[in-house]
Chains A and B, each alone.
Chain A
């Protein structure tokens, strides 16, 4: 029998709001342990949670970026469970009335078809404290770090619309791009600001039934999610073919051995409305205000880039993959550089300079204007590609303009025919064998001669002009 997989995802995103969800403590979970705490997020007796407006803004922006309908009223519930990372005995989460419902994202499937994947709901919840297990005097101890306690999360629950690991990975990439554009989360699986659980079941191909699902956790990259799904589909098929039953349980992905293994039975407590946090009422005006705050989103931007700058779809998608990249691209183009040159230099050399220095494009010391001037010199053949790299690298370390650096390092490309003619004349007269070989049609010799000329000119000669002169002389 042929089986098909039915996959739904549950994604936790940590919002990058300045404060935690129910107090004014900084939302900086990675700070030294227990630095960002107060009676409210330590859940001490007498404290009352006060829902932060700045968290709501981020959450609404996120929901809107995923085409979700914001609910007029949403309510926090207490999800009751007892564990040392949750000393108040319940987690504030939205169960009965979530913030948002009915979203979607389009993906292009492996078969190159566009498919709309539905998002069932998005709700807000607070993160719990972090447990650190250590040994002290040969005894195992557990420590609790409350920096993360009360950090704002949203949980995105999809419909079971995905049929393969490919679908799931494409969905996650699209999701991450949309949310990063909205500016509400860093969406890093590596840093734990994006956590993905996958619910997987299988059914005979073509049947509409939904069978018992298995939840897989602990993936720390999108690639991992794909691998874990593939492994789990294969495991379930194997089990079915051997006549086994699939039972509802949770499995952990082991990235080193690339397998999933069962984890402790999942305990889910009741969810009761929280009496302390007020109902969140969201007006249409508020939603519109938030919509206006969203930047131009990727789909629209890609079409515009294709039309306005004559890019291919691939180029437009590449340059729109991150908001700051697309903004920097457009700024540079507006300052006079040609779009294709900008894409090439921005995505390769510029980004590698940025990453090497541990920066992000938005805080790059090289302005789009200077970058455009640099690329302008390259386009006008005033400097070589090699020199362009050198100048760009130098621009990160000084405040000087690219023009000043070119002058300082004497990198101005020589395109003057007379000057280059003399250079070539001298070169050819010293390389008789090479000239003969070239005349006989050995094309590789041309590269050698151009290389020699470049060396002679200390890299400043325009290689294209050199090649033209050589070709003219040996005719």
Chain B
């Protein structure tokens, strides 16, 4: 088995090996149900769990003639990027498309680190049925690819109403990329700029220059609540994680610790042994807000609602909001605490809070050693707008490169 995989499709045909098959190659994570495949979501808590049926996305990929090559390695329950191999696969040319659970911005950050496009569709556009997640109100399928065209085609196939997921919209929005946007204006946030170091600022300003050169209006916007973003995500996310992680009791599947006592003893020992330290800490924190600080949780929910309102107002001033995707010198494999993880996703988790579409564009915001990614955020269901701007800017870089 290739080192990037935890499970490979027993049907080994691929374009290289078998000329008959011509569909795109996709890689999933082991929390995206494929009937009969071991779906452990990167956690011992789901050890030996085999999906009984396909996730809606899996079903649609199969119908769309995609070849699902296998499951890549993933961070436990899709929280953070530790150990994740999905984006690396696309980078190495082994897959046209890789899917990552986007809870905090994993698909966009992973893409920016590998010089790829990373896209999180609007919430409610792609069914989550069969996605074994952790934070239902903020997570969704993220798509990583070297080609925007591939991303647009893929999301058209997997999106649309699903009677098994009531959060899906009646009809999907438009995903057709157009290079003919009428005088778009993009806005960047001063509060966001303040968080960047000099090199990052320089790289980001350079990318704004490219946008201006391409005839795009650039405005500076203010958003006071930007500093609360991570805390809001952290509180709500951990509360949801605590209750959605409650089902992992090691009775029907999952790692069962040895216990000769009663069932409570078995639960406690098994759960203690099953989860990794970060997910365990995250769930415990959520339990704290549930049991001891419920009013703080309510405050976080109120602030989230306020963020949504203010975001709508920002989109009256600019068609799209732009900011970097990640930071310089990130090392996603040595993250030991929840706050380490939240630092990694400072810029990407905004879209998870609002549910709006976001895409990370490579090759634009480059420091001397890192591509920090140029992130485009749009109003909910304006997926076409973010994908189109990404395409326009990519064309602009290519033109510049050709000169």
Contact = CB atoms under 8 A, between A and B. Distances in A.
Given A82-B267, A89-B249, A269 B297 contact: no
A45 B129 contact: no
B6 interface: no
Contact of A272 (B163, B249, B264, B290): B290
A82 B240 CA distance: 16
A51 B290 CA distance: 24
A48 B128 contact: yes
B240 A275 contact: yes
A272 B52 CA distance: 29
A82 B243 contact: no
A270 B294 contact: yes
A276 to B, nearest CB: 5
A278 interface: yes
B137 A45 contact: no
Contact of A48 (B166, B239, B251): B166
13 contacts: A48-B128, A48-B164, A48-B165, A50-B165, A50-B166, A51-B166, A80-B246, A80-B290, A89-B243, A89-B245, A269-B290, A272-B297, A275-B137
A90 B246 contact: yes
B251 A50 contact: no
B243 A90 contact: yes
Interface string A289-316: 0000000000000000000000000000
Given A46-B131, A278-B167, 11 more contacts: A39-B52, A45-B33, A46-B39, A46-B51, A50-B163, A78-B243, A88-B247, A269-B291, A270-B290, A272-B297, A273-B301
A272 B243 contact: yes
Nearest to B163: A50
Interface of B: 31, 33, 39, 41, 46, 49, 51-53, 55, 128-133, 135-137, 163-167, 239-240, 243, 245-247, 249, 251-252, 263-264, 267, 290-291, 294, 297, 301
Contacts of A88: 246-247
B243 A277 contact: no
B240 A39 contact: no
A39 B131 CA distance: 13
A45 B39 contact: yes
B129 A48 contact: yes
Contacts of A278: 166-167
A90 to B, nearest CB: 5
A411 B136 CA distance: 74
Contact of A39 (B53, B239, B251, B263): B53
Contacts of A276: 136, 166-167
Interface string A130-173: 00000000000010000000000000000000000000000000
Given A84-B263, A87-B252, A90-B246, A46 B132 contact: yes
Contacts of A78: 243
For the complex of A and B, the 10 pairs showing the least CB-CB separation, nearest first, are A89-B246, A275-B137, A88-B247, A45-B132, A270-B290, A46-B130, A275-B136, A46-B132, A46-B33, A78-B243
A89 B53 CA distance: 23
B247 to A, nearest CB: 4
A89 B247 contact: yes
Contacts of B167: 48, 276, 278
A89 B246 CA distance: 5
A131 to B, nearest CB: 10
Contact of B251 (A51, A84, A90): A84
A39 B49 CA distance: 13
Nearest to B41: A45
Interface in A76-118: 78, 80, 82, 84, 87-90
Interface in A254-291: 269-270, 272-273, 275-278
Contacts of B53: 39
B294 A87 contact: no
A417 interface: no
A231 interface: no
Nearest to B127: A48
A90 B286 CA distance: 14
